[in-house]
């Protein structure tokens, strides 16, 4: 797959079928409980469900009242309760409490639990312990994949990151493998599979096992996706920790995009109402600015505003027939575009106000220094001042983690000093947070890391079987060396430019971080695709702690000129940022690829830090 300059980008597959399959299966499961029923929905399933089947569809299938799981239901006359939930132990206890309360009051009902995306044995055990297992029927809603846009599919499993990378819980790997099996069955076999990371390797191997069991349902179909690349989030923590500066990333950092939509408050809408806006390629304004560096967005929006005004002004010289055509064919579209334009201008103004308050430029300067390895002492002082001023507990943690990873751990004196200052500023209850960050390898001390990594390397040489993987997992989670500086040098992650970096006409993926840094995750994907494997990247792989693979499917013909060979499914296990999506979209345009993104969830630095924070006294 040699790169030959800018080429036409192939069309992505149509993922609308994924929504239809999920909706049809849910309707089938609801109909298994005939008659009127009350539906209890887990809070974090509400937004994904809204994208699949709205309230009116649920009502059509005899859902009477809707409740949010965890809220106490009002006394209900319904004879049937249906629970649509994630497989969580606390949720099982909630359901058991409702059933046991009904038993105590002599109320007789039917109960059905629909697990999404699958049920776990531990959940059934809890129901049995609570004495209600015999009272419920259980089903699975295999809702693995939610298309958020024409090129983004999310599993909507934000807990994957903490469960796997911190707790070492492998239960979601089965869900990833089944998601890949579904895609493979719908869009034909993938010609080549690449990956890096222990989770990526396990997911790939389990998926291949499932394919063999099902005798490859996708075999014989015309392939629509040529290559798949699986990557663990811990291969590149640095990119996820950096402040985002492309428009979509900034909107996510500022307003929090949830399930492909965002709530713009009164400060954006210039009214007393909030508006929920779906952010995707159908939004004509958003689709043109989503991947742009923020510094270019205002200029584009003001030009767009002038163009719209010019189109409105055309009415003045029209006769009646022309006016009639204008009203029937163009006016509605112009009004919609004007509404969206106003919202995005409002969002930009709101972002500017918030970032000015937060000393955003100073923060960016500190981040760029950390990435480049210059003025480390000055950056450390900035972090200390940030902590002392109590600007933001999340940002303070994020900057400390960025310092730690880029410097391959903090020296013990700096670690103790920063930790003490943080606990004094934000409370001693964050002691557990520091424990978590150390375990996952985000905030470590140099000396401890060196010792454990040496032990870990000896263990990994001695044992190679799967059971021993848990031992090496334990060591690497306790103190994993990042080797960022050496990797950065090997891959040229810090561009060397004479003069100003042109953000309006970027020349490489570094534009997503103002020209200061090429995202490591995206650079790895670029290099592996260019080389069609890991050959020549052995030193990089060693520094990234290995677990790389490259496998070809012998049943798929290999012809780089075919369109589907240039469609690449990039799978991020543990979350993907909008900066990475923008960078790979840029690479795709430059090199004639179409990237499709499959992620366990959309992430950013705030979500990553929140997953680590523990404040239990």
- pLDDT for position 216: 57
Residue 457 clears pLDDT 50, i.e. is over it: no
Mean pLDDT, rounded, for 580-603? 95
Mean pLDDT, rounded, for 370-392? 92
Residue 473 clears pLDDT 60, i.e. is over it: no
- pLDDT for position 324: 58
CATH, domain 15-141, list 1.10.10.10, 3.30.300.30, 3.90.800.10, 3.40.50.2060: 3.40.50.2060
Residue 298 clears pLDDT 50, i.e. is over it: yes
Q: Which fold has domain 148-236+520-603?
A: Rossmann fold (3.40.50)
Q: Which residues contact 135 (CB under 8 A, 6 or more apart)?
A: 99, 111
Least confident of 59-68, 479-488, 587-596: 479-488
Q: Strand, helix or coil at 372?
A: helix
Question: Where exactly are the structural domains of the chain?
Answer: 15-141, 148-236+520-603, 247-358, 359-407+409-445
Q: Which residues contact 593 (CB under 8 A, 6 or more apart)?
A: 9, 529, 566, 567, 568, 587
CATH number for the domain formed by residue range(s) 247-358: 3.90.830.10
Residue 458 clears pLDDT 80, i.e. is over it: no
What are the φ and ψ backbone dihedral angles of 220, each rounded to 5 degrees? Answer: 95, -20
**Does 359-407+409-445 carry CATH code 1.25.40.850?**
yes
Burial of 32 (0-12, 13-18, 19+ CB in 10 A): exposed
- Euclidean distance between CA atoms 173 and 209, whole angstroms: 13
Residue 478 clears pLDDT 50, i.e. is over it: no
Residue 229 clears pLDDT 70, i.e. is over it: yes
What are the φ and ψ backbone dihedral angles of 594, each rounded to 5 degrees? Answer: -120, 115
Percent of the chain with pLDDT over 70: 85
- pLDDT for position 192: 92
Measured from the Cβ of residue 500, the count of other Cβ atoms closer than 10 Å reads 7
pTM of the model: 0.89
Least confident of 260-264, 271-275, 476-480: 476-480
Contact assessment for residue 41 and residue 49, using Cβ atoms and an 8 Å cutoff: yes
- Predicted confidence band at 560 (pLDDT cuts at 50, 70, 90)? low
Least confident of 17-26, 232-241, 329-338, 429-438: 329-338
- Predicted confidence band at 51 (pLDDT cuts at 50, 70, 90)? very high
Number of helices (H), then strands (E), belonging to the chain: the values are 27, 14
Q: Which conformational region is residue 359 in: left (phi greater than 0), alpha (psi within -120 to 50 degrees), or beta?
A: left
- Predicted confidence band at 310 (pLDDT cuts at 50, 70, 90)? low
| Residue 561 CA neighbour count, 13 Å, CB half | 0
- pLDDT for position 461: 43
- pLDDT for position 449: 42
Mean pLDDT, rounded, for 575-579? 97
- pLDDT for position 398: 96
Continuous H helices in 63-156: 89-104, 121-129
Residue 509 clears pLDDT 90, i.e. is over it: yes
- pLDDT for position 354: 87
Contact assessment for residue 62 and residue 36, using Cβ atoms and an 8 Å cutoff: yes
- Euclidean distance between CA atoms 473 and 439, whole angstroms: 11
DSSP-assigned states of every residue in 435-487: HHHHHHTSS-BHHHHHHHHHHHHHHHHH--SHHHHHHHHHHHHHS----HHHH
Residues 54-93: tens digit of each pLDDT: 888 999 999 988 889 887 766 778 899 999 999 999 999 9
- pLDDT for position 284: 87
Residue 455 clears pLDDT 70, i.e. is over it: no
Residue 337 clears pLDDT 90, i.e. is over it: no
- Any idea how long the chain is? 617
Contact assessment for residue 207 and residue 172, using Cβ atoms and an 8 Å cutoff: no
- Euclidean distance between CA atoms 34 and 344, whole angstroms: 45
Burial of 525 (0-12, 13-18, 19+ CB in 10 A): buried
Q: Which residues contact 49 (CB under 8 A, 6 or more apart)?
A: 41, 84
Of 544 and 479, the structure prediction assigns the larger pLDDT to: 544
Least confident of 159-163, 314-318, 451-455, 514-518: 451-455
Least confident of 313-322, 421-430, 542-551: 313-322
Residue 474 clears pLDDT 60, i.e. is over it: no
**Are 15-141 and 148-236+520-603 equal in CATH topology?**
yes
**Cis? peptide before 117, omega within 30° of 0:** yes
- Burial track 317-336 (b if 16+ CB lie within 10 A, e otherwise): eeeeeeeeebeeeeeeeeee
Residues 154-174: tens digit of each pLDDT: 999 999 999 999 999 999 999
Of 561 and 400, the structure prediction assigns the larger pLDDT to: 400
Q: Which residues contact 226 (CB under 8 A, 6 or more apart)?
A: 190, 191, 192, 562, 564, 565, 566, 567, 568
Residues 344-354: tens digit of each pLDDT: 999 999 999 88
Of 120 and 497, the structure prediction assigns the larger pLDDT to: 120
| Average pLDDT score over the chain | 86
Contact assessment for residue 163 and residue 138, using Cβ atoms and an 8 Å cutoff: no
């Amino acid at each position: 797959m040699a790169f030959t300059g800018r080429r036409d980008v192939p069309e992505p597959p149509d993922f609308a079928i994924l929504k239809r399959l999920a909706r049809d299966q849910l309707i089938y499961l609801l109909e298994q409980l005939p008659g009127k029923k009350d539906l209890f929905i887990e809070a974090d399933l509400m937004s994904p469900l809204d994208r699949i089947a709205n309230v009116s569809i649920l009502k059509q299938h005899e859902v009477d009242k809707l409740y949010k799981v965890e809220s106490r239901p009002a006394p209900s006359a319904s004879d049937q309760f249906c629970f649509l939930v994630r497989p969580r132990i606390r949720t099982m206890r909630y359901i058991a409490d409702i059933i046991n309360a009904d038993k105590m009051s002599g109320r007789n009902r039917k109960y059905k639990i629909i697990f999404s995306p699958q049920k776990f044995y531990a959940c059934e055990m809890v129901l049995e312990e609570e004495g209600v297992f015999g009272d419920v029927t259980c089903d699975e809603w295999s809702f693995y994949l939610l298309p958020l846009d024409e090129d983004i599919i999310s599993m909507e499993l934000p807990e994957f990151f903490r469960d796997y990378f911190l707790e070492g819980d492998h239960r979601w790997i089965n869900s990833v493998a089944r998601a890949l099996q579904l895609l493979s069955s719908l869009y034909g076999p993938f010609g080549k599979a690449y990956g890096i990371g222990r989770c990526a390797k396990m997911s790939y191997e389990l998926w291949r096992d499932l394919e063999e069991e099902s005798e490859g349902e996708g075999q014989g179909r015309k392939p629509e996706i040529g290559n798949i690349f699986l990557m663990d989030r811990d291969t590149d923590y640095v990119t996820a920790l950096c402040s985002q500066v492309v428009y979509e990333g900034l909107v996510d950092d500022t307003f929090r995009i949830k399930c492909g939509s965002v709530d713009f408050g009164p400060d954006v809408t210039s009214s007393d109402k909030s508006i929920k806006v779906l952010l995707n390629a159908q939004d004509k304004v958003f689709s043109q600015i989503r991947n742009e560096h923020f510094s270019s967005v205002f200029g584009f929006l003001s030009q767009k505003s002038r163009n719209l005004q010019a189109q409105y002004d055309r009415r003045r010289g029209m006769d009646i027939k022309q006016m009639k055509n204008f009203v029937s064919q163009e006016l509605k579209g112009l009004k919609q575009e004007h509404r969206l334009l106003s919202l995005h201008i409002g969002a930009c103004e709101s972002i500017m106000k918030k970032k000015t308050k937060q000393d955003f430029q100073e923060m960016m300067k500190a981040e760029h220094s950390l990435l480049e390895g210059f003025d480390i002492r000055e950056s450390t002082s900035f972090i200390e001042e940030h902590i002392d001023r109590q600007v933001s507990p999340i940002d303070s943690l994020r900057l400390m983690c960025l310092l730690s990873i880029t410097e391959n751990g903090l020296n013990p004196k700096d670690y103790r000093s920063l930790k003490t200052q943080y606990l004094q500023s934000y409370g001693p209850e964050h002691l557990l947070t520091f424990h978590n960050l150390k375990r996952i390898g985000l905030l470590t001390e140099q000396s401890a890391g060196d010792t454990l990594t040496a032990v870990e390397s000896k263990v990994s040489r001695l044992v190679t079987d799967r059971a021993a993987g848990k031992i090496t997992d334990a060591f690497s989670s306790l103190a994993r060396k990042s080797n960022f500086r050496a990797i950065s040098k090997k891959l040229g992650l810090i561009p060397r430019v004479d003069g100003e970096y042109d953000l309006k006409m970027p020349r490489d993926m570094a534009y997503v971080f103002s020209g200061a840094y090429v995202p490591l995750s995206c650079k790895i994907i670029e290099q592996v695709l260019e080389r069609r494997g890991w050959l020549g990247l052995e030193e990089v792989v060693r520094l990234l702690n290995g677990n790389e693979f490259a496998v070809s499917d012998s049943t798929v013909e290999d012809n780089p000129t075919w369109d589907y060979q240039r469609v690449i499914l990039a799978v991020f296990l543990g979350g993907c940022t909008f900066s990475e999506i923008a960078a790979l979209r840029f690479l795709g345009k430059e090199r004639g690829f179409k990237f499709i993104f499959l992620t366990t969830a959309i992430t950013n630095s705030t979500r990553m830090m929140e997953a680590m924070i523990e404040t239990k006294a």
